[in-house]
């Protein structure tokens, strides 16, 4: 079974969110 997840976030600080999610997801 294949699962595809797409997440779109609209925020005022995209660079901060990128850093947070990169750390949280291990990228």
* Residue 20 structural domain: 1-27
pLDDT of residue 9 exceeding 80, the answer is no
- Count structural domains, the chain: 1
**Which pTM value belongs to this model?**
0.42
Across the range 7-13, mean pLDDT stands at: 80
Split at pLDDT 50, 70, 90, the class of 16 is confident
Start-to-end Cα distance in the chain: 23
């Amino acid at each position: 079974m294949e699962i595809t997840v797409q997440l779109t976030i609209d925020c005022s600080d995209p660079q901060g969110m990128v850093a947070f999610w990169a750390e949280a997801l291990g990228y």
